[in-house]
Structure 1
Amino acid sequence: MRTDLLILAGFVAVGGYLFSQVWLSPGDRILAHSYNDHYQFEWFLAVDTYNITHLHNPFFTDLQNASVGVNLMGNASVLGLALPLLPITLLFGPSVSFLLAVTLGFALTAFGWYWVLHRHLCAHRIAAVLGGGFAAFAPTIVSHGNAHLNLVSMFLVPWIVRFALRLFRTTRPVRDSVILGLLIAYQALIGEEILLMTAMALGMFVIVYAFPLLPDLRTMVRPFLTGIAVAVGVSLPLLAYPLWMQFAGPRHYDSLGGLAYVTNDLNTLFEYSTTSVGNLGGTLTSTNYAEENGYFGWALLILGAGLALWLWRDRLVRTVAVLGAIGLAFSLGPDVGWYFERTGVPGPWKLFVELPILDSMNVGRFTFLTVVALGVMLAVATDRIIKASADGGVKRAGVPLRLVWAAALAAALVPLVPLPLPATGRPPVPHFFTSGAYKQYIAENHTVVPVPALKATGDMTALTWQMATGMDFRMPEGYFMGPLGPDNIATNEPPPGPVTSVLLDVAKTGKAVQLTSAQQADMLAELRKWQADAVVVYRVEALPQLRETLDPLLGSGRQVDDVWLWDVRALTRE
């Protein structure tokens, strides 16, 4: 057990290394390639904490998108992480909670796979560390550390896999099925995408693994299916209301539509990620820095193919090798691409792209299956070689087998060694909010209209104003997944209304807008709908133009502390 704890500490240290640039000052720094997702996940942790401590519905809020609200179950709200982190969020704030969550997300995922490989597959400890470490810290996964807390928090997946496969031979089917059901329910509150992918992988695993055993299939599959039925029976009642909220509740959407856009170009499978030493100073060849879903490098893919051939008689290796290949193929999407160009060659996913639920999957992430498959194959091969050369007498062409294997691993894995994820400074929260001065102008649960306006592809720093006050007021519009149009297709950026359109116009052009009477009426109506108390400007170059635009409508703005403020209570509470 002491050794296991040391290994866990080692994985935590690697996780800390990945985020070391942010750990230097969590409240002042942010992941440079997060595309506003860093702010968004901090906000999710903050709003989850607020809902729990105020006994509000944990699956819905109007703290963003004021007067309309956000369906949190339809977003990556990571309630399953916010619950255990609640004391940290209350004591140190969501920035520390986020950083702790992503660090431990990597570390506990690595440790989970290590534990399953070592304790349940009986792999040598060194082999299990290698396999578990790769499954969590491969470039494919590390790239998502830039932005996706829900995707890197996969620490329940090894245990879901372990208890699901244990159903084939368990002596305690009820206990194991109940535990599996609880794990499934909790994983759904961390990340449903990972849960769906895990379920698909387990289904494919069972089919491939059991295929050679067709004569005994009935006796094998019956206890497995019975156990799965019990697990579903445990998890569904727990998830009934959250799933209703997601698929039928207020502000739900029916499909991701164009947001399910992530596929991998074929070239990215053989290259090196910008998160690894193999691409020092290299260019980005993926959709963005948080979606480098391939990037295994030629050497590792060649090594993986060699291991599959060498260990093909091992049913476990054969099965995971097939799953890994399926993951690679599915990740190419319905139309194979090459350096951002469509080739016209159909990919295997074309068969599934229009199926319900599957039509909303970001299939580029199917390489997560390949990562785990390669981790298992590396662990099994390392275990074989350690045990075969235990006496030191096994050699190949006069060279010790361990040395040959170490060289092969170095060639394949050294270029994949992760780099610390880059960070940058974040704008400070205005003293107007941190000092509590805002309370003189903004009533509890009323709305602040921030400038810059909240916009997914723009500036989302105003969310930190809200978090700094303990979620004491609401904000309009923002960055979240919500329905759009008659088809109820998801968008992560609601169309700007009258007020935001004007604010964005001034910011874009640097020129004042002469408001028409119709615009003025629309803006006042929207401010009243939001229950807005103040329009607050902080560090905006176009302040003179904003004053020229807003003063005729809202009255003269004035500086209060370190912000510029229009007090609109007299206009919105008529």
Structure 2
Amino acid sequence: MRAVDEVVEEQAVPEPPEPVTAPRRRADLLSLLNYVVLSMLVMIQLWRDPNGRVLASNDDDHGVMLFMLAHGERVIFHGDSPFWSDRLNVPDGVNMMANTAMLALTLPVSPITHFLGAGVSVALLLTLGLAGTAWAWYWVLSRHLVTSRVAAWLGGLWCGFAPAMVSHANGHVNFVCQFVIPFIVLQVLRLREPGRAVRGGLILTGLIVLQVFINEEALLFTALALGVFVVAYAAMAWPRAKREARHFLAGLGVAALASGALLAYPLHFQFFRAGSYHGQPFSPDEYVTDLLSVGAFARQSLAGYAAVTRHLSVSATEDNTFFGPIGLVMIVVSVVVLWRSVAARSAAISALVLLLVSMGPRLRVAGHDTSIPLPFGLVSHVPVIDLVSVTRFALVPATIAGVLLAMAADRMPAMSVKGRRWFLTGLVLALVPLIPKPLPVVAGDPLPPFLTQGIYQQYVSDDRSLVTVPLPDVTTGRTGMRWVTLSNLAYRTPRGYFMGPVNPPADDTGSWSAPVRYTSSLLWRVREYGQVPVMTDTMRIRIRQDLTFWRAAVVVLVPNSRNGDALLTTLTDALGPPQLVGGVQMWDVRYLPVPSTG
């Protein structure tokens, strides 16, 4: 039965259950198959060597995803805490609940990570995420919103492979895996049905908890979108909304209480335990949606041109709109076709509101910030909202666009011959230029024999750390981060790329790396500028103090590092001549004391 037919089409009597026939089963399987094939084509470059290649457009976040997968392997195979990791950022550790640990994804694939490597798990989840999201929307659309399997296929295709989704496939596993979201939307809409308060509320609870352990941001966006939808619908159809409010609110109450109880400890850990933070390391007007991006092409679309896209997007992983000119027209046409449906108008309003929010506190046009204020400026510092990258609110209109296109396509049989011809032509002209291209990759730095042959184990005990130079950090220590994650966090290392407080306890503002220390700052300058400092005894003492703080057993210079000769000279002056072991220059500093953990 189309469970939300009354909401979408305003029908008084639900339709009878749709018989499951062999042709419909074949349509379902065929849709899933071509979604998987398209997903494989998008990720094909990474699949050729998932542990040896890195997504070129965002190798930093690719490294973070490797860390999340390696942490999941540690939880299952070594009994580590699911909410905390002491393998990175020694000695302080990392609050994994505050870092989108994706436990609902990383734990199930931990055997793959363990035996085949975190790189394989990343490629697998990105591939299944794109295809799975598309098929989840197809399933919900075909069972509850449209009668045509072709229209449902079209909606799933857009929702799973829109430019925004393909863009986030450059390393954002958590945003690509949105296959739970359609069922959350469905269950929320079904709460209005009599007799579903408890059962529907508990089903919604399970979906909410599952989504929290995939991506809380996507859950927040969904909740805001549904909130706007419900308010808009109530304003335009108050008598019906009033009749259904009691059932709807009762179900929401059950879901809120049950999910609150189940998530109380994880959320307390996320927001109040060590490693928690507040706000982002950038202002809310830095990463926003450009007005012109709505009608432009993304760099990974067939018609995309990266040189143009760069001026309209904050990064290659944040092409969150980019519907193309004809695509934008067809979205508007779909709203017009569906205009008599209060639910469709409400969905369009929800999309428009979230699109406006994604544009930040001031309108940006063609890469230039104007003085035109926007509503987001009023809520930019609200707790939880201040943790979101603003442009990502545009993921909501990107998804709603796919739903509206599917619903409008479902109306094609009722159109005139001329109307069908124009609508079909518009769909072709809109979709063909948006066909995704394979994501670009680059070769990653290989792990040296020092790690692959386990030589490091002769030096690094479990209470010590292996310090790679350049130090693992956002943008500057990719190789060190890659080494430890592809080793499934087999050893501890200081610093890293993660979200945590910038300088606790004095400043708990969010930061992409560990608090700065003397040695990390010194080595960063040497790497960036190639200038060897004049080493003094005081400097040597401070470097040793930091190595003691990091519980260092060995210091390893990453081969072929930028300004590697300058780094080698600096480390030699500070620590003495290195040893050449397992293909790396290594300094044995086990003579340094291990700080007490008491």
> For the superposition of Structure 1 and Structure 2, which TM-score range results when normalised by the shorter chain?
over 0.9
Q: 2:161 is aligned with what amino acid? A: F
Of 346, 369, 394 in structure 2, the residue corresponding to residue 319 of structure 1 is 346
Counterpart position of 1:253: 277
The answer on 1:395 being equivalent to 2:420 is: no
Percent of residue pairs identical: 36
Counterpart position of 1:561: 582
C-alpha contact 2:502 2:513 (8 A) present in aligned 1: no
Distance 1:551 1:293 in 2: 47
Distance 2:389 2:443 in 1: 30
The answer on 1:99 being equivalent to 2:123 is: yes
C-alpha contact 1:34 1:146 (8 A) present in aligned 2: yes
1:76-104 deviations in Å (ceiling 9; x for gaps) = 22111112112211221110111111111
Counterpart position of 1:69: 93
Note the 1:147-546 alignment, pairs <5 A: 147-169=171-193, 171-258=195-282, 260=284, 261-280=286-305, 282-283=307-308, 284-285=310-311, 286-385=313-412, 387-388=413-414, 394-396=416-418, 401-485=419-503, 486-540=506-560, 542-546=563-567
Distance 1:76 1:432 in 2: 31
Q: 2:218 is aligned with what amino acid? A: I
Distance 2:307 2:481 in 1: 33
Distance 2:339 2:185 in 1: 22
Distance 2:392 2:306 in 1: 24
TM-score (norm 2): 0.91
Counterpart position of 1:81: 105
C-alpha contact 2:52 2:445 (8 A) present in aligned 1: yes
Counterpart position of 1:30: 54
TM-score (norm 1): 0.94
Query: Residue 344 of structure 1: SS of its match in structure 2?
Result: strand
1:279-335 deviations in Å (ceiling 9; x for gaps) = 246432211111112211222222222222232101222121112221221121110
Distance 2:526 2:275 in 1: 30
Shift of residue 128, structure 1, vs aligned partner: 0.3
Shift of residue 339, structure 1, vs aligned partner: 2.2
C-alpha contact 2:278 2:508 (8 A) present in aligned 1: yes
Question: RMSD in angstroms over aligned alpha carbons?
Answer: 1.9
Distance 2:463 2:169 in 1: 33
Query: Residue 29 of structure 2: SS of its match in structure 1?
Result: helix
Distance 1:548 1:34, change over 3 A: closer
Distance 1:382 1:524 in 2: 67
1:123-174 deviations in Å (ceiling 9; x for gaps) = 3100001011101211122111113111111110000001111111154432
1:397-442 deviations in Å (ceiling 9; x for gaps) = xxxx543322111122222111111111111111110011111111
Distance 1:35 1:341, change over 3 A: farther
Query: Residue 303 of structure 2: SS of its match in structure 1?
Result: helix
Counterpart position of 1:57: 81
C-alpha contact 2:297 2:305 (8 A) present in aligned 1: no
The answer on 1:550 being equivalent to 2:571 is: yes
1:168-209 deviations in Å (ceiling 9; x for gaps) = 115443222111101101101111100111111111111112
Distance 1:498 1:406, change over 3 A: same
Q: 2:538 is aligned with what amino acid? A: A
Distance 1:494 1:455 in 2: 8
Q: Which piece of structure 1 moves more, 142-151 or 110-119?
A: 142-151
C-alpha contact 1:185 1:236 (8 A) present in aligned 2: no
Moved over 6 A (4+): none
Query: Residue 279 of structure 1: SS of its match in structure 2?
Result: coil
C-alpha contact 2:137 2:182 (8 A) present in aligned 1: yes
Q: 2:301 is aligned with what amino acid? A: S
Distance 1:324 1:452, change over 3 A: same
Distance 1:505 1:351 in 2: 39
1:107-130 deviations in Å (ceiling 9; x for gaps) = 111111111110112431000010
Distance 1:515 1:32 in 2: 37
Query: Residue 109 of structure 1: SS of its match in structure 2?
Result: helix
C-alpha contact 2:468 2:480 (8 A) present in aligned 1: yes
Distance 1:196 1:64 in 2: 28
Q: 1:404 is aligned with what amino acid? A: W
Counterpart position of 1:135: 159
Alignment length (residue pairs): 565
Distance 1:175 1:11, change over 3 A: same
Distance 1:422 1:334 in 2: 33
C-alpha contact 1:184 1:235 (8 A) present in aligned 2: yes
Distance 1:520 1:361, change over 3 A: same
Shift of residue 573, structure 1, vs aligned partner: 4.9
Distance 1:240 1:53, change over 3 A: farther
C-alpha contact 2:362 2:369 (8 A) present in aligned 1: yes
Q: Which piece of structure 1 moves more, 183-192 or 492-501?
A: 492-501
1:209-254 deviations in Å (ceiling 9; x for gaps) = 2323323433311111111111122212221111011110011112
Q: Which piece of structure 1 moves more, 550-559 or 79-88?
A: 550-559
C-alpha contact 1:112 1:155 (8 A) present in aligned 2: yes
Distance 2:210 2:335 in 1: 34
Distance 1:282 1:317 in 2: 36
Distance 2:207 2:92 in 1: 33
Consecutive unaligned residues in structure 1, runs of 5 or more:
none
Counterpart position of 1:46: 70
Shift of residue 445, structure 1, vs aligned partner: 4.1
Distance 1:175 1:573 in 2: 55
Q: 2:137 is aligned with what amino acid? A: W
C-alpha contact 1:142 1:275 (8 A) present in aligned 2: yes
Distance 1:99 1:259, change over 3 A: farther
Distance 1:535 1:469 in 2: 17
1:450-494 deviations in Å (ceiling 9; x for gaps) = 022212022312223223433221111111111124341001033
C-alpha contact 1:21 1:420 (8 A) present in aligned 2: yes
Consecutive unaligned residues in structure 2, runs of 5 or more:
1-24
Distance 2:281 2:306 in 1: 35
Query: Residue 203 of structure 1: SS of its match in structure 2?
Result: helix
Shift of residue 49, structure 1, vs aligned partner: 1.8
Query: Residue 297 of structure 2: SS of its match in structure 1?
Result: coil
Distance 1:502 1:356 in 2: 35
C-alpha contact 1:28 1:426 (8 A) present in aligned 2: yes
Q: Which piece of structure 1 moves more, 59-68 or 45-54?
A: 45-54
